[in-house]
Amino acid sequence: MKIFQRTFLLFVLISFLILLFSSFCFAQQRKLEIIYPAVPGVQTPMTTKTALPDYLRYVFTFTIIISGLVAFGAMVYGGILYLTSTGDPAKISDAKDQVTASFLGLIIILSSFLILNTINPQLVLPAKPPLEPATGGIKIYANSNDCGETPTTGKPEDINEFLINQSYPALYATKDSTVILDWGTDGTYKISSIRFLSNPQDLTIEFYSGNDYLGSIKKYDETNYQKNDCQPYAVAQPKSVKLDSHPPGVYLYATENCTGNKYGEDYVIYQSSSATLQEFDNKTQSIKFRYDSKGETKFAAILHEKENYMGEAVLYDQEQGDVNCQSVSDTLSV
């Protein structure tokens, strides 16, 4: 009987360990089984690859918010109970106790935040901020080779202009038989000049001969335009235009020479620390830094071999104006 019990316990233990480690092995590939509510100031966990510090930050912030709401509600309830208990000493005493307990609860919640902030500020810091998009874009002109100063033909009122601050898969479009966009190859208005409103380090513009960004015609980047430049447009009329913004931050590339224009596949951008690279894990081959035109923010990156800032680490930085690509160390897999 004892042998049977030992065998059974050993079987249960081995089965538990197998299930436990298999869960860990496949956790990186699975989405979460539940959808977490969005919490202000922290990143909502989306996959099982979310790092433990991010989970703790989310849970702590969520708990603080819910506890604060409960304590506030209890205090309001105690106040209402006090106002409606006139002439009843017992109820008045209970109401005072309710308000006092709620007030003490708020103090405890605030104290827990301050204590944890003292022990480990990373757990209560806000999540990494959203990427700051490049602003501006371009303005295209029809019937003017100098960006609206003089008309090519006719009168000044014959000049047409259009601000492009986002990508357009079609420059000619209709809705319910009504033309809502009338530019380019198929449109009434033909591009004759372009005013560049953004810094070239922040924005790349590319025109295409087909809809949905097919067949590149002309590309504008930091090599061929400056902010506020006006350039005549002398190539084939486009059917679509793509704006690729480059906000300030640390750029990690899956290639060795910092090439590729598909965000999330060819490169990712970080503007603050992250304990995991999630879907970009073990893909980084090169790194590049971009700064805003004012140079108000300085970036440096410490790339770690493992998640949660563990394993071998290498420091990378770059001065303002240096646009060179840096190769990530062959000994470091990030």
Q: Residue 27 pLDDT > 50, yes or no?
A: no
What CATH number is attached to the domain comprising 160? 2.60.20
pLDDT digits (tens, 9 = 90+) for 178-227: 888 999 999 999 999 999 998 887 889 999 999 999 999 999 988 899 99
Six token digits for residue 7: 């065998």
Per-residue pLDDT, 297 = 74
Statement to judge: residues 235 and 144 lie in one domain:
yes
pLDDT score at 175? 84
pLDDT at residue 228 in the model: 92
Range list of β-strands (E), the chain: 138-142, 160-164, 172-175, 178-182, 191-196, 203-210, 214-220, 230-232, 240-245, 249-253, 267-270, 286-290, 300-306, 310-317, 326-327
DSSP state, residue 105: H
Tell me what pLDDT residue 69 has. 84
Distances 82 to 72, 89, 91 between C-alpha atoms, Å: 15, 10, 7
- Residue that is written with structure tokens 């501006």 in the block: 136
DSSP H or E stretch at residue 324: none
Comparison of pLDDT for 58 and 173, the residue scoring more: 173
Residue 142 in any domain: the answer is yes
Closest of 265, 138, 135, 257 to residue 206, by C-alpha: 138
Q: Is the domain of 297 the same as that of 201?
A: no
Query: Is residue 60 domain-resident?
Result: yes
Q: By the 8 A CB rule, do 202 and 247 touch?
A: yes
Q: With respect to residue 118, please indicate whether it lies within any of the assigned structural domains.
A: yes
Residues 270 and 313 in one domain: yes
Domain of residue 116, residue span: 52-123
**Which pLDDT does position 10 carry in this prediction?**
52
**DSSP H/E element including 200:** none
Residues 165 and 204 reside in one and the same domain: yes
Q: Are residues 258 and 287 in the same domain?
A: yes
Mean pLDDT for the chain overall: 78
Give pLDDT, residue 215: 94
Strands 230-232 and 203-210: unpaired
Domain identity same for 275 and 192: no
Residue that terminates a domain, selected from 199, 214, 245: 245
Q: Which residue has the higher pLDDT, 143 or 273?
A: 143
C-alpha closest to that of 231 among 205, 202, 258, 265: 205
Q: Is residue 33 part of a domain?
A: no
**Given this model, what pLDDT does residue 160 score?**
92
Averaged pLDDT, 288-313? 80
Determine the pLDDT at residue 20.
Answer: 46
* Shared domain check, 240 and 154: yes
Residue 19 resides in a domain: no
Which residue bears the tokens 């609860």?
A: 105
Single-letter code of the amino acid located at 88: D
DSSP bridge pairs for 174: 179
Q: If you average pLDDT over residues 152-180, what whole number do you get?
A: 89
Cβ atoms of 238 and 192 closer than 8 Å: no
Do 227 and 294 belong together in one domain?
no
* Residue 107 counted as domain residue: yes
Query: Is 270 in a helix, a strand, or coil?
Result: strand
Are 237 and 160 in the same domain? yes
Q: Are residues 146 and 238 in the same domain?
A: yes
The verdict on 169 and 240 lying in the same domain is yes
Phi, psi (deg, nearest 5) at residue 103: -65, -45
What pLDDT digit, counting tens, does each position of 5-24 carry? Answer: 445 445 545 554 444 444 44
Residue 267 lies in a domain: yes
Which of these three, 184, 218, 245, is where a domain ends? 245
User: How many distinct structural domains can be found in the chain?
Assistant: 3
For 41-50, 69-78, 100-109, 238-247, which range has the lowest pLDDT when averaged over its residues? Answer: 41-50
Same domain, yes or no: 315 and 254: yes
Q: Is residue 272 part of a domain?
A: yes
Q: At what angle do helices 89-119 and 52-83 cross, to 10 degrees?
A: 160
- Residue that the structure tokens 């409103």 belong to: 197
Tokens standing for 274? 């992250």
Last residue of a domain, one of 97, 123, 149: 123
